[in-house]
Every structure is written in structure tokens, then in C-alpha cells.
Amino acid sequence: MLTEARKGEIALRYVECLARKKSMTLDPVDFKRQVHNSAKEIGIEPAEAMEFAELIVRKSVEGLFVKK
């Protein structure tokens, strides 16, 4: 049986995978609107969703650049 912690790990990896495959807009207003709308849709606070989105986007962007 999956623990809540393991479900969270799986969900995070799944979201990271989707973020890598789906193109994201770099327009700050559009991005904030999308995050806010998604937060309302899944029933979480927009600020929480933005914090989570920031983690995902930063990780995705860092993966684009080769470590020197």
C-alpha cells in the first residue's frame, strides 16, 4: 500500500515529467493566471500553487543548462 509520502513523491515526479514535455509560457501574467486557475480547479490556495509551480519551473529550467 502506498503511503501518503510516497504518493507525494510520485505526484511530484509526474508533474515534473509533464512540465518537461509541455511547453510553458514565459509571459508572467499568463503564467500567473494559469497557476491561479489551476489552484482553484484543484482546491488549493493560489499562493501555495505558485510556490509549487516555482519549484517545478526552476528545476525544469536548470535542466536545460549544462553544468560548468
Per-residue pLDDT reduced to its tens digit, 23-38: 777 788 998 999 999 9
Is residue 54 within 8 Å of 64, Cβ to Cβ? Answer: no
Q: Is 67 contained in some domain?
A: no
In order, the DSSP letters of 36-50 are HHHHHHHT--HHHHH
| Per-residue model confidence as pLDDT tens digits over 9-68 | 999 999 988 888 887 777 889 989 999 999 999 999 999 999 999 998 888 888 888 777
Rounded Cα gap, residues 32 and 11, in angstroms: 21
Q: Is 49 contained in some domain?
A: yes
Tally the domains of the chain: 1
Q: Which phi and psi (to 5°) does residue 6 adopt?
A: -65, -40
Q: Is 47 contained in some domain?
A: yes
**40: containing domain:** 4-62
Rounded Cα gap, residues 18 and 12, in angstroms: 10
Q: Is 68 contained in some domain?
A: no
Q: What's the CA angle centered on 42, arms 54 and 16, to 5 degrees?
A: 40
